Each structure stands twice: as C-alpha cells, then as structure tokens.
C-alpha cells in the first residue's frame, strides 16, 4: 500500500481528519486487510475519486455505498467500472435515465473518469471491500472519513449539486447546508428500486440547470 496517495489540494481541507487517531486505526486495519485478503480497489486507486477531482474543482457529488466486490470492477469511483467491463445493473439504469432525461446517448464505456475530470466527485461512503464480501469494511472508519469529506465540501464550497440516491445516501447527506447547495434525492438506481422514482427523476438536467443558473459550467453527462 505504499502507492496510496491523495491529490494535494485535499490535504489541507482534510488535515484534521488525517491527524485524528481514528484515521491511524483505519489505516492499520486497511493495511492488514490488503496483506491477508484480496481487497478492491487496488491500493493505488483507493483515493481515485479525489485524485481525478481536485478539491477546488468539485461542483457535483454523487454518493455510493461501497466498492464493487467482484474482480476487475472497482476502481475508486462510485458506480463506475474500468473501460471494457460490462455495466453493472445500477450503472445501466443511470445511463438509461441520462438518455431519457437529456436526450444524449451515453458513451459506451462505464468508466466515469470523464465525469470526475469535470468536477464530479464520485464518492463511495466506504472506500474498500473484500472480494465477494459486500459491506465487509463497514464500521471501520470509512464512514466517518467520508462524512467529514461531505461536511468540508458543504462548508467551504457554494453551489454544489449533491445527488443522493437511496436511503443510505440520503442519510449520508444530512450535514449538507441546503441554503448553499442543491440537494437532489431519489430512490437508488438498482433494479430493485429504480422504477420507484429514480427513473423520471431528471437529476442530470436539473443539475445542469442549477449550475448554469449559478454561472457554472454544466456537466457533459455522456
């Protein structure tokens, strides 16, 4: 795990977090897990969401739960998979809603790095997972870490769009200042819930309308 790094612009906003004893405990646990189990994503991609989306660039936050737990899928961005990997069901439904909402046909790739590079922070609440064991790194400290990330974005930025899909993400967003940011909520895009309100939510066009109204560049959601 010597190759674990986070983009430099995040270090000052998260400095108190990195100095907190809980983070040392989390780091020790994660190092042990990588030593004894197959963990996703690879260590160099744990902070991929941050590395592709520097702190000053953040204008949209999409919150997932934990990384994909099957081989070859997780690469540190919520809902995203590397180039050439078949789309998981939730991602397929996200693309379906984009096409319905905006009229744009999404790219064929499930690698959402193209969004991250436009200022979309694709943040999982938990940043690591054991192979074939969803939720295996819950309650080890990642939730506290990502709660603090959301809080510092809310406090230090203005006019950010937060997309909260499903009860877990909605609860995660309770610290967001709704007087300074746009909070969009909907059911999760998984096949179990997408038809209960994710489809037709029009979050992608709503996001761009808001950003434009604040003098900010819209996101190309393709």
Beta-bridge mates of residue 130: 39, 133
In angstroms, how far is CA 104 from the centroid of its own chain? 22
- Contact, 88 vs 68, CB < 8 A? yes
* Pairwise CA distance, residues 181 & 81, whole Å: 28
b/e sequence 88-106, b meaning 16+ C-beta within 10 Å = bebbebbbebbeebbeeeb
Cβ distance 199 to 100 under 8 Å? Answer: yes
Three-state SS at 17: helix
18, 124, 130, 180, 194 from 135: Cα distances, Å: 23, 12, 8, 32, 21
Residue numbers annotated as active site: 66
Contact 47, 5 (CB under 8 A): yes
CA distance 135 to 129: 7
């Amino acid at each position: 795990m010597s190759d674990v790094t986070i983009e430099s612009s995040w270090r000052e906003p998260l400095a108190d977090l990195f100095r907190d004893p809980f983070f040392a405990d989390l780091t020790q646990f994660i190092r042990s897990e990588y030593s004894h189990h197959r963990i996703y994503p690879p260590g160099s991609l744990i902070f991929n969401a941050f590395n592709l989306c520097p702190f000053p660039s953040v204008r949209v936050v999409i919150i997932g739960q934990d990384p994909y737990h099957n081989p070859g899928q997780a690469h540190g961005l919520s809902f995203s998979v590397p180039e050439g990997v078949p789309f998981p069901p939730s991602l397929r439904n996200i693309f379906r809603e984009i096409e319905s909402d905006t009229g744009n046909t999404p790219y064929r790739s499930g690698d959402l790095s193209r969004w991250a590079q436009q200022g979309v922070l694709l943040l999982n609440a938990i940043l690591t997972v054991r192979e074939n064991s969803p939720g295996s790194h819950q309650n080890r400290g990642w939730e506290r870490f990502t709660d603090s990330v959301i809080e510092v974005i809310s406090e230090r930025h203005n006019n950010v769009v937060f997309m909260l899909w499903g009860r877990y993400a909605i609860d995660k967003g309770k610290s967001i200042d709704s007087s300074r940011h746009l909070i969009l909520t909907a059911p999760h895009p998984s096949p179990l819930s997408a038809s209960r309100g994710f489809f037709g939510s029009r979050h992608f066009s709503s996001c761009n309308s808001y950003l434009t109204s604040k003098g900010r560049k819209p996101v190309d959601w393709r």
